[in-house]
Structure formats: structure tokens, C-alpha cells
């Protein structure tokens, strides 16, 4: 049963399986295990980002497309919901309207970009996605009336999702059963579903064709698969998931702005996480996201302590918690150099070696 | 009695997974024109590229002037005194004729005047088109330029790959003259050709390649008398 | 591929654009905007020329090119701090600016050699890894600059003599912008002379067209690559310094901010073509300035539209190089 759920794409590494299981359990039980609102925010962010990064893995790791526009789709989803809720009221109708339109817009852009990807080489395509997402960001800033410009949009969400809405009078296991809790589980479940869907797509015949196209386009074309079609479909699938993640983010945060959605920073984060976690594995998104977000959230104190231990202005500078991007960048470059398959690949390799040794002994 | 300026022994070359050269043994005598014959796909161009260092042999040795060159890269091989006229001309289209010639003289700012005069005598059209971009030259003129490039410097040896392909007879005559000029200058020539009449007209020795191996070699003289061998070769090339 | 025709047509296009804008904008605005466009074009050209040449010669797309721009800007700022401000007098002021540019050139060159050795060389031929690794390199360089300098903006004022404008009638022409146009033309002429009159330039042009044949003529192309890469990064450094002096205020992202324009310019001009880069820089900067003035919300898409239009007209860029 578990096999089918995971689309027969098992972790293939005991350590990886254990880590994934721990993460899963922690996420499901976050409200009950960890206290404070911070941990809940981080857990929700992890869920949302896992989908965002995993959908990017479909593009980068499977289809071999380098796109700098993925954060743009995240933003499209988020802003569609945000604008709907901000302008038209906070009911579920508006919410679903926003979601629907966000999906349509994302698909349109995705189809366009997917279509361009055949006519252009990798390099051109990457540059064009960079240019287009830049242009969209600038347009968002300029369309102050609609999008709140640089300030972003703050809005209300349906009453049932708010922390003031109590389902039960008494707390359960010490946790108040509020709308916020419900929202968290909605985010979790939606993210889980999208993640499993991505696993399914990646491991379907469609996914195999994507990989074949990436490895040897000419030969795959010769067998009869049209690159344009497959890449466009992949682009649309990835974009709609990213938009979906954006919609979740918009509802969860009750705020949508450039820094939380379309910024270059987010685009870079996605790229770094997917490579460090492990391209072409989908699971890499989980490990990478958890590693990076938890590090960002919890390692501040440790970093400051290390910096002060060494002393000297440049050491404290290096270990300044705001410089996590430096370490992330270094880790990223090391991964491209030595571990193209990321952490997941490394774990799987260890496991495979272990099995080989075992077989050799017996 | 002639020294061998170039010797290949047991040379194997792979291109990717394909085993192209499967043990080539050749001795090229100095100062003479040796022709490398064989069908398409026999490995002639691969042999040339391996000698020149554009490809590296997976096994075997190549000695030039008594020194090993099989580990060297192309620029190093060329600087030992080997010139190369590749198949398909490969002149620089964006550069003028003169610029192409200047560039070919890698160790001096300009080719020596006497070399240039030799070139002008052999290939008069080139002298008229010195300032024209090579891209506007006709096929035959491009081939002349390609050979002229090899002649801007004194060379110990020149490897020429199918120069006569698709060219008008008058130009083929110029080619033959240029080969004769090289020989008179003491330059060894390794000529790759499928065109048997042209080859037997200009060459002194020959090797026949088939499926990456030498299957026959000897003097052109003998080849010219051996109709049966000729037919076999021509038949193969048919 | 007829070179002259391309240059004539492109120049005509640019001149036409400038002339068309005159009645639309009115003389004063037109003069100011056109000068702004021209000077911006020069700076972008200086920054972008290295990138296009490296791509044309080595088939390397350095997404981290912006790192050299940033390094140049910071080197210039350090120079001024080191010297303790600008000396008085126009000649000395210009000399200091030259000094800044030199510092930027050297810094850019050093950065380039490190970048090439550590990040570019191991990924030759693999475009995907190249894009990834050079992007990572850019991020690291930016962060290291923050560590050594400051996350805050750096102020880099021009010397007094280069502040302000020349008044011609009632048009104010910024002195610095005029200087930029002069410098840009100088650099362009220098590069053109290099390519067309020296043997080195010959070698580069030939290698852009056919690397293998250049090797078969006896030239080790490897050293050429490194030399060109470092030249490109040095130019980027100089461009960064000049750009920083123009803005008088910059952060570590000065490089990545310029990258979008550089991409557009490099692609529109024809990858590997330095003269193409020059003309497309002119076109791009002019379009950017005119559109931003006339209708700001359209500016971002206007550039993309321009790029698409140019590519439809000339798929290989404004001034293509010969095919490999």
C-alpha cells in the first residue's frame, strides 16, 4: 500500500527513509509536539516550500530545464488569492475564484514558456525566464493599486481558518483546537497531496520520457516523442503546483508581498535547495527544504556563538546569521562539483555500496 | 634508403565507443608523397587527426623525426613542423584571404615574402583576392587558400585530406603543382585521397586502409601496373 | 554573412530611433534622455562586451559575470577611501577616476582568473552545470563582499569637477555622462582596433569562428581562453566602477541588477559579436530611457518586446558572427 502511495519510488536508503518518516511525523504532530507559534509557522513554511521545490525538481531534475521563473508562478498563485480576498471579500467563493484564476494565469504563462523552451537552447531559455520573471516583478511593483506594490497586500481570510474561531471549548492534549489549527492541517494535507502527485508524475511513463529527452533529445525524438509537447506539459505541471503552493502561502500568511513570493531571493533559494537536497529525486526537496528552513530559523544563536568564539571582525562577519546565503551558496557549489545528486543521492549511494558489500560477503 | 620521417605502430583510436582505428602500422618516407587510399569510413581522416593530435590514440605509438608525438596535442604537433589541410576546407570565412595566411604563420607576424610569392605563382586567383573575406570565395578558391595556408611556413610534413573532392580540373591541376612544389622543397606529403587517378598522378607510395587497418601498401608505380588491384580499389570506391 | 550591410542597417535603425523621438519628446527632454541613453549604453557595453566575447570564444555562459561588476565597484570605492577623497583640480580629479578604473580593472582581472580556474574550467562543455555553478559563484562573491565591506549601501561620490552639468542654451548635459560617452567610444575603438589590426585580434576572431582549426594551425587555445576571460572580467570591473560613480550609491547587487540588461544586450547583439554588443547596447539603453520616461509601467516589457522583435528580424542577433 505504501508502495503504491509513493508511486513505487521508494527512498532506497534506510537512513533516508528514517529521516523522511521523522519529518513526516514531526510535521503531522507539530502543533502537539512543539510549543509556540514560531514552530507552527516554520512547519507550514516547510510544507509549502516542499511543494515549491519539488515542482522545480520536476523541471530541473527530470526535464533538465533551467528556469528562473519558478518563483514567478509561486507569486502568481499567491497574488491571485490575495487580490481576490482583498478586493472581493473573505468568503470561500472569493477564495476559490482567486485560486481558479491563479491556476489559469499560471498555466498560460507556463504554456508560453514551455513552448519557447524548444526553440531556444538551455542558455537562452534560462536568460529569457530571468528576463520575464524580472519584468513581471517590476510590473507588480508598478501596479500599486492592484498589488500593493512594494508593500504587498494584507487581507482577511475566511473566519473558519482564524485562530479566534474555536471548534472545541477545551484544548486537546494541551492545544487549543482553533481555525488556525485547521488551516495548518489543510496546508499540510494539500501539500502532501501535491507532493505525492509529483512523485506520481515523476515516476509515470511521462516522467520517463522527460528524462529520456533530457539525456538524449535526438534519440528520443527519433522514437517519436515531441519535445515541445512534453516540456510544455512538464512546465504546466510544475507551474500549477508552484501556483498551488503560492495559494497556500497567501492564505496561511494573510499577506502577500514581493519578498515572500516573487523575489530573486526566493528564486535563488529554490535553486539552491533543489540542488543541495538532490536533483531528480523529488525526495530531495523534502530534505533540502527542511535542512535550509530549519537552519535559517534555529541556527541564528549557534552561528553568532561560533562567530564570537573565533573573534575578529571578519570571522564574526562570516558567521553572521544573516550570511546564511554565503554558506548555502558554498554548499551549493560543492554539491554541483562533487555531489550532483545532492544529499539524497549521497544517502542512496551509501546504501547501494552497503548492499554491494553485503552481497559480496555472502 | 629513404629515411622514414613518420612511423605509426599499432595505433588504435576510439571515438566515443566506436573503435575506428584497429591497429595501424605505417612508415612514411621522407621527402616523398605518400597517398592514403580507402573507402569512406575506412578511417583515413581519423588517421590524419590522430597523427596531428586532434584525436589521441588509445594504444600504439607515433614517431615523428624519431621523437614520440602520440601524447601531444595538436598545437604541439604542428609546432614540430607538421602542416594540416583538413577535409572541408575550414578556412576562416570572416577573415580576409590575407588574414587567413597571416594567421597560419604562427611563429612570425607575417609569412615570409618568398613563401607568399610561391603561393601567388601556384594560385594566381588568391593574389587578386587578398583583401576579400574568405567567405566570398568559390569552393575551388577556398581549397586553394586552405592549401596555401599550409605553405606559408617551411614544413617538414604536410597532411592533406581529400583536396580534389568536387573541384574543377583546372584547379586540380593547381593542386597537383602545389604538391610538386612541396616535394621539391623537401616537404613530405601525406595525401588522403579517394580519387585514384589524381593519387596515382602525384604520389610515389601508397597505403590502403579498410575498416581501420592497413590492407595493402607499396609503390604507386606498381599500383599503376596492377590493373586487378586498381579494379579492386575502384570497385570498393564505386 | 555580409558584415557591412548589417552594420549600416543597424546604425540606420538607431539613428532613426533617435530622430523619431525628437518630435515626440520635445527638444530639451530629448537631449537629456538621449545623452542618458548613450552614456548608459557605453557603460553596459563595457560591462557586457566581456561576456559576449567569452561566450563566442569559449561557449561559456557566465551567469556570474555580475560578480566582476560588483568587485570593480567596491575596488573603486576602496581606492577613493584609501586615497582619502579626491584631490582638487580637474586633471587630478580625472586621474583619480582613472585610478579607480584601474583598481577596478585589476580587481576584476583577479576575480576573473579565480572564477575561471575554480568554477568555469571544471564545467567546460556542460552548460547546465555551468549555469548552476556560476550562479552559485555570484551568490558567494556577493556575500563575501558583504562580509568584507558592509550590507549597507556604499556611497561613492564623483569628484566635484565631474558633478553637475554643462549648460548649452537651456539644456543641462551632465558632465559625467559626456565623459562616459567618450570613454565608451574609446573602449569600443580600442577593441575594434585590436580585433582588426593586430594578430591577437585575428586569432580571437578566428577562434570564435572555428576553435579546432586554430589549434590545427599551431596555437594553444587554452591560454587564449584564459586571457580573454580575464580581459572580459577586467572590463566588467571597470564598467562596474563607472556605473557606481554614475549612481553614486550602490550595494552588492549592483552586478546582478545589471545582469538583466546585459543578457538582453548580449542576446540581441549576437552572441560572440563585440560590435553587435555595442549596437545593441545603444538600442537597449535608448529604448529603456525613452520608454521609462514616456510610459513607466511598460518599461520592463518594452525591452523584452524589443529583444523579441530584433530576434524575429535577425535570429542571430544584430551583427552575427560567422557560424562555427
DSSP state of C324: -
Task: Give pLDDT tens digits along chain A (362 positions).
Answer: 677 777 767 777 778 888 888 888 888 888 888 777 788 888 999 999 999 999 999 988 888 888 889 999 999 999 999 888 888 877 888 888 889 999 999 999 888 877 766 566 777 778 888 888 888 888 888 888 887 777 888 888 777 777 777 777 777 777 777 778 888 899 999 999 999 999 889 888 888 888 888 777 777 777 777 777 888 888 899 999 999 999 999 999 988 888 888 888 888 889 999 999 988 888 899 999 998 888 877 777 777 777 777 766 667 777 776 777 888 888 899 988 888 888 888 888 888 888 888 888 87
What is d(CA B50, CA B68) in angstroms, rounded to the nearest whole number?
13
CA distance C218 to chain B (A): 4
A residues 204-263 lying closer than 8 A (beta carbon) to C: none
Detail the DSSP E strand segments found in chain B: 4-15, 18-29, 33-38, 59-64, 67-68, 82-85, 157-161, 188-192, 205-210, 213-219
C293-315 confidence digits (pLDDT tens): 888 778 878 888 888 888 888 87
Res. C7 pLDDT band, cuts 50 70 90: confident
Q: How confident is the model at residue B86 (pLDDT cuts 50, 70, 90)?
A: very high
Residue B92 has pLDDT above 70, yes or no: yes
Q: What is the average per-residue pLDDT within C6-15?
A: 88
Q: What is the pLDDT of residue A117?
A: 62
Would you give the distance in Å from CA A250 to the centre of its chain? 14
DSSP C11-75: HHHHHHHHHHHHHHH-HHHHHHHHHHHHHHHHHHHHHHHHHHHHHHHH----TTHHHHHHHHHHH
Measured in angstroms, the CA of A161 and the nearest CA of chain C are apart by 36
Report the chain C residue with the minimal C-alpha distance to residue B48. Answer: C216
C-alpha–C-alpha distance, residues C179 and C14, integer Å: 21
Query: What is the spatial distance between Cα C132 and Cα A190, in angstroms, rounded to a whole number?
Result: 31
Other CB atoms within 10 Å distance of the CB of residue B217: 17
Per the CB < 8 A criterion, the answer to whether C76 and C156 are in contact is yes
pLDDT at C1: 41
| Coil, helix or strand at residue A204 | coil
Which ipTM score applies to this complex?
0.88
Q: Is B84 helix (H, G, I), strand (E, B) or coil?
A: strand
Q: What is the pTM of this model?
A: 0.84
Nearest CA to A233 out of A69, A120, A65 is that of A65
Residues in chain C with CB shorter than 8 Å from the CB of A138 are 299-300
Q: What is the pLDDT of residue A118?
A: 58
The side-by-side arrangement of strands in the sheet containing B4-15 is B18-29, B4-15, B59-64, B67-68
A142 CA: distance to closest CA in chain C (Å): 6
C-alpha distance from C62 to closest chain A C-alpha (Å): 10
Chain A residues within an 8 Å CB radius of C119: 333
Q: How far apart are CA B149 and CA B122, in angstroms?
A: 13
A139 interaction partners in chain C (CB closer than 8 Å): 297, 300-301
Q: How would you classify residue A174: left for phi > 0, otherwise alpha for psi between -120 and 50, otherwise beta?
A: left
**3-state DSSP call for residue A318?**
helix
> What span, in angstroms and rounded, lies between the C-alpha atoms of A352 and A342?
15
pLDDT digits (tens, 9 = 90+) for B145-193: 999 999 999 999 999 999 888 788 888 888 888 999 998 888 999 999 8
Residues of chain C numbered 208-247 and touching chain B (CB < 8 Å): 209-210, 212-221
Q: Which residues of A touch C256 (CB under 8 A)?
A: 264
CA-based nearest residue to C35, from C206, C191, C178: C178
Chain C residues in contact with A268 (beta carbon < 8 A): 135, 139
> Which is nearest to A261 in space by CA: A60, A61, A36, A79?
A79
Among B94, B99, B103, select the one facing C322 at the smallest CB separation. B94
Per-residue model confidence (pLDDT) at position B238: 40
Q: Which three cell numbers stand for residue A306?
A: 561560533
Q: Is residue C63 within 8 Å of C138, Cβ to Cβ? A: yes
| Integer Cα distance of A161 and A84 in angstroms | 16
Amino acid at each position: 500500500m505504501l508502495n503504491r502511495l509513493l508511486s513505487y519510488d521508494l527512498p532506497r536508503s534506510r537512513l533516508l527513509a528514517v529521516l523522511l518518516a521523522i519529518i513526516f511525523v514531526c510535521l503531522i504532530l507539530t502543533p502537539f509536539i512543539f510549543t509556540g507559534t514560531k514552530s507552527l509557522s516554520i512547519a507550514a513554511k516547510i510544507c509549502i516550500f516542499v511543494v515549491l521545490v519539488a515542482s522545480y525538481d520536476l523541471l530541473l531534475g527530470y526535464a533538465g530545464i533551467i528556469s528562473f521563473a519558478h518563483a514567478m508562478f509561486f507569486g502568481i498563485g499567491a497574488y491571485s488569492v490575495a487580490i481576490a480576498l482583498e478586493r472581493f471579500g473573505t468568503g470561500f467563493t472569493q477564495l476559490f475564484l482567486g485560486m481558479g484564476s491563479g491556476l489559469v494565469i499560471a498555466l498560460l504563462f507556463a504554456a508560453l514558456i514551455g513552448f519557447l523552451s524548444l526553440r531556444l537552447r538551455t542558455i537562452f531559455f534560462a536568460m529569457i525566464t530571468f528576463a520575464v520573471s524580472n519584468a513581471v516583478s517590476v510590473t507588480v511593483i508598478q501596479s500599486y493599486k492592484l498589488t500593493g506594490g512594494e508593500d504587498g497586500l494584507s487581507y482577511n481570510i475566511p473566519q473558519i481558518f482564524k485562530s479566534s474561531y474555536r471548534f472545541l471549548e477545551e484544548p486537546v492534549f494541551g492545544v487549543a483546537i482553533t481555525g488556525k489549527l485547521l488551516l495548518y492541517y489543510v496546508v499540510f494535507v494539500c501539500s502532501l497531496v501535491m507532493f505525492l502527485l509529483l512523485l506520481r508524475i515523476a515516476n509515470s511513463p511521462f516522467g520517463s520520457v522527460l528524462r529520456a529527452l533530457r539525456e538524449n533529445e535526438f534519440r528520443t525524438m527519433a522514437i517519436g516523442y515531441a519535445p515541445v509537447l512534453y516540456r510544455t506539459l512538464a512546465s504546466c505541471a510544475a507551474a500549477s503546483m508552484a501556483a498551488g503552493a503560492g495559494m497556500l502561502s497567501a492564505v496561511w500568511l494573510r499577506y502577500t508581498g514581493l519578498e515572500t513570493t516573487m523575489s530573486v531571493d526566493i528564486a535563488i533559494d529554490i535553486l539552491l535547495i533543489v540542488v543541495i537536497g538532490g536533483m531528480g529525486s523529488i525526495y530531495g526537496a523534502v530534505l533540502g527544504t527542511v535542512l535550509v528552513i530549519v537552519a535559517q530559523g534555529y541556527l541564528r544563536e549557534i552561528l553568532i556563538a561560533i562567530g564570537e568564539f573565533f573573534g575578529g571582525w571578519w570571522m564574526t562577519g562570516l558567521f553572521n546569521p544573516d550570511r546564511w546565503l554565503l554558506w548555502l551558496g558554498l554548499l551549493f557549489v560543492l554539491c554541483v562539483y562533487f555531489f550532483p545528486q545532492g544529499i539524497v543521492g549521497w544517502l542512496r549511494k551509501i546504501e547501494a555500496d552497503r548492499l554491494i558489500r553485503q552481497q559480496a560477503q555472502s | 634508403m629513404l629515411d622514414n620521417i613518420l612511423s605509426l605502430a599499432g595505433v588504435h583510436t576510439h571515438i566515443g565507443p566506436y573503435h575506428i582505428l584497429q591497429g595501424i602500422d605505417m612508415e612514411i618516407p621522407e621527402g616523398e608523397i605518400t597517398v592514403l587510399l580507402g573507402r569512406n569510413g575506412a578511417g583515413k581522416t581519423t588517421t590524419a587527426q590522430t597523427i596531428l593530435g586532434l584525436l589521441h590514440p588509445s594504444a600504439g605509438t607515433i614517431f615523428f623525426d624519431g621523437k614520440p608525438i602520440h601524447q601531444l596535442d595538436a598545437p604541439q604537433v604542428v609546432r614540430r613542423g607538421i602542416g594540416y589541410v583538413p577535409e572541408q576546407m575550414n578556412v576562416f570565412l570572416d577573415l580576409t584571404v590575407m588574414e587567413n595566411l597571416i594567421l597560419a604563420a604562427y611563429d612570425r607576424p607575417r609569412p615570409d615574402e618568398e613563401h607568399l610569392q610561391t603561393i601567388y605563382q601556384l594560385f594566381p586567383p588568391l593574389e587578386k583576392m587578398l583583401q576579400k573575406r574568405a567567405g566570398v570565395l568559390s569552393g575551388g578558391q577556398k581549397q586553394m587558400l586552405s592549401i596555401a595556408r599550409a605553405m606559408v611556413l617551411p614544413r617538414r610534413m604536410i597532411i592533406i585530406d581529400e583536396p580534389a573532392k568536387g573541384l574543377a580540373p583546372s584547379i586540380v591541376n593547381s593542386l597537383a603543382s602545389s604538391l610538386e612544389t612541396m616535394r621539391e622543397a623537401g616537404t613530405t606529403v601525406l595525401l588522403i585521397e579517394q580519387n585514384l587517378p589524381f593519387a596515382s598522378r602525384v604520389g610515389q607510395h601508397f597505403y590502403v586502409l579498410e575498416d581501420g587497418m592497413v590492407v595493402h601498401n607499396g609503390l604507386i608505380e606498381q599500383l599503376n601496373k596492377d590493373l586487378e588491384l586498381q579494379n579492386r580499389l575502384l570497385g570498393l570506391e564505386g | 554573412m555580409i558584415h557591412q550591410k548589417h552594420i549600416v542597417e543597424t546604425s540606420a535603425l538607431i539613428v532613426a530611433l533617435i530622430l523619431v523621438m525628437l518630435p515626440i519628446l520635445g527638444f530639451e527632454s530629448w537631449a537629456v534622455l538621449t545623452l542618458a541613453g548613450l552614456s548608459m549604453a557605453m557603460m553596459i557595453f563595457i560591462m557586457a562586451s566581456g561576456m559576449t566575447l567569452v561566450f563566442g570564444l569559449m561557449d561559456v555562459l557566465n551567469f556570474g559575470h555580475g560578480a566582476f561588476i560588483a568587485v570593480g565597484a567596491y575596488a573603486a570605492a576602496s581606492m577613493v577611501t584609501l586615497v582619502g577623497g579626491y584631490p582638487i583640480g580637474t586633471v587630478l580629479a580625472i586621474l583619480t577616476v582613472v585610478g579607480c578604473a584601474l583598481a577596478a580593472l585589476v580587481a576584476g582581472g583577479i576575480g576573473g582568473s579565480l572564477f575561471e580556474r575554480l568554477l568555469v574550467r571544471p564545467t567546460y562543455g556542460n552548460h547546465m552545470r555551468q549555469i548552476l555553478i556560476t550562479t552559485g559563484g555570484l551568490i558567494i562573491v556577493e556575500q563575501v563582499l558583504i562580509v568584507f565591506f558592509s550590507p549597507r549601501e556604499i556611497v561613492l561620490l564623483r569628484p566635484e569637477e565631474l558633478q553637475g552639468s554643462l549648460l548649452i542654451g537651456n539644456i543641462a548635459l551632465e558632465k559625467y555622462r559626456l565623459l562616459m560617452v567618450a570613454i565608451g567610444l574609446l573602449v569600443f575603438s580600442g577593441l575594434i582596433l585590436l580585433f582588426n589590426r593586430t594578430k591577437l585580434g585575428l586569432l580571437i576572431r578566428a577562434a570564435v569562428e572555428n576553435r579546432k582549426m586554430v589549434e590545427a594551425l599551431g596555437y594553444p587555445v587554452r591560454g587564449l581562453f584564459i586571457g580573454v576571460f580575464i580581459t572580459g572580467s577586467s572590463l566588467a570591473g571597470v564598467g562596474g566602477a563607472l556605473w557606481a560613480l554614475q549612481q553614486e550609491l550602490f550595494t552588492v547587487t549592483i552586478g546582478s541588477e545589471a545582469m538583466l540588461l546585459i543578457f538582453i544586450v548580449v542576446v540581441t547583439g549576437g552572441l560572440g559579436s563585440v560590435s553587435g554588443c555595442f549596437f545593441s547596447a545603444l538600442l537597449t539603453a535608448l529604448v529603456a530611457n525613452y520608454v521609462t520616461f514616456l510610459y513607466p509601467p511598460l518599461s520592463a516589457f518594452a525591452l523584452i518586446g524589443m529583444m523579441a522583435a530584433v530576434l524575429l528580424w535577425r535570429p542571430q542577433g544584430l551583427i552575427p558572427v560567422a557560424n562555427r
